[in-house]
Amino acid sequence: MDRFRTIALIGKYKSPEIAGPLLDLADFLERHGRSVVVDPLTAVHIGDHRRLVLSLEDIGKQADLAIVIGGDGTMLNIARTLAPYDVALVGVNVGRLGFLTDVSMDTMFDTIGAMLDGHYIVESRLLLHSEVRRGGVRVMDVVAFNDVSVNKGAEGSLIELEVRVDRQFVCDLRADGLIIASPTGSTAYALSAGGPIVHPSLSVMTLVPVCPHTLSNRPIVVSAESTVEILVGSAADVRVHFDSHSHCELKDGDRVVVRRCPDKIRLLHPSSHDYYHMLREKLRWSEKPGR
């Protein structure tokens, strides 16, 4: 039985350089007996009038595989939408290889051809579900792939947060902010704030203070089965961001609740995928001093 009979192609929006490779990939897949569909934005952008155009929700219901051509940001946006449908995802990077989009344009046909033959690695990534509660009323409900971050605004001073895990008091935090990161998000904003790199196979969340007033406030790692609550004590200019794709202005007394999302992301990697090799390349660990 053939794997991945219906394949969706989704391209980075407003990136003219992907049109040619995406159309070539569509032809390649059809020559291999697969049905190809595209989302509306991709169809308009590349001028493809031959393939069936489906909404992302319908792609989730009908496609066996979605190939995302762009970068990690594009993959983040698509993954959040398709997660409830358990569609397998492959990322093709149009620039340098990313943490999530690890198929090179130069080897795209060979790599995807091998995947169609069953040569790939499956990786499951957890998502974060977050709510903003105000006076007991839920005012925002968002899924994040990388992180949920509570931060001061451009003109704000240090913010005051009360942090609880599973209703147990952890600390009162005075800082520029606090990041709750998934393992995937450990190599994003949390890394730049001094958080640890967490292997994506682990079922954990990382709490990383941003520029804390007390230097002893350090990142901590908690179970992904935990519920993290952040109570805003001082909100002159405070907001919460979800993967940097959406945000909410916060008020005194607001509560941000973060827990594991029941949906997961199913990523497919080439059979040669090596997580630690990818870290060395992306973080330049192998470079010699002075280079």
In a domain, 289, yes or no: no
Give 15's pLDDT tier (boundaries 50, 70, 90): confident
Residue 254 and residue 151 share a domain? yes
Closest among 208, 22, 226, 214 to 105, alpha carbons compared = 22
Instruction: Enumerate the active-site residues.
Output: 72
Q: Is the pLDDT of residue 89 over 70?
A: yes
Residue 153 and residue 48 share a domain? no
In a domain, 266, yes or no: no
Can you give the residue range of the structural domain that contains 114?
6-119+271-283
In a domain, 217, yes or no: yes
Query: What is the 3-state secondary structure of the chain?
Result: CCCCCEEEEEECCCCHHHHHHHHHHHHHHHHCCCEEEECHHHHHHHCCCCCEECCHHHHHHHCCEEEEEECHHHHHHHHHHHHHHCCEEEEEECCCCCCCCCEEHHHHHHHHHHHHCCCEEEEEEEEEEEEEEECCEEEEEEEECCEEEEEECCCCCCEEEEEEECCEEEEEEEECEEEEECCHHHHCHHHHCCCCCCCCCCCEEEEEEECCCCCCCCCEEEECCCCEEEEEEECCCEEEEECCCEEEEECCCCEEEEEEEEEEEEEEEECCCCHHHHHHHHHCCCCCCCC
Q: Report d(CA 119, CA 140) in Å as an integer.
A: 41
Residue 146 and residue 103 share a domain? no
In a domain, 291, yes or no: no
Residue 96 and residue 64 share a domain? yes
Residue 164 and residue 103 share a domain? no
Could you tell me the CATH number of the domain that includes residue 50?
Answer: 3.40.50.10330
Residue 183 and residue 106 share a domain? no
Q: How many domains does the chain have?
A: 2
Residue 255 and residue 133 share a domain? yes
Per-residue confidence (pLDDT) for residue 138, from 0 to 100: 96
Residue 178 and residue 254 share a domain? yes
The average confidence (pLDDT) of the chain is 93
In a domain, 234, yes or no: yes
Residues 126-148 have pLDDT tens digits of 999 999 999 989 999 999 999 99
Residue 146 and residue 66 share a domain? no
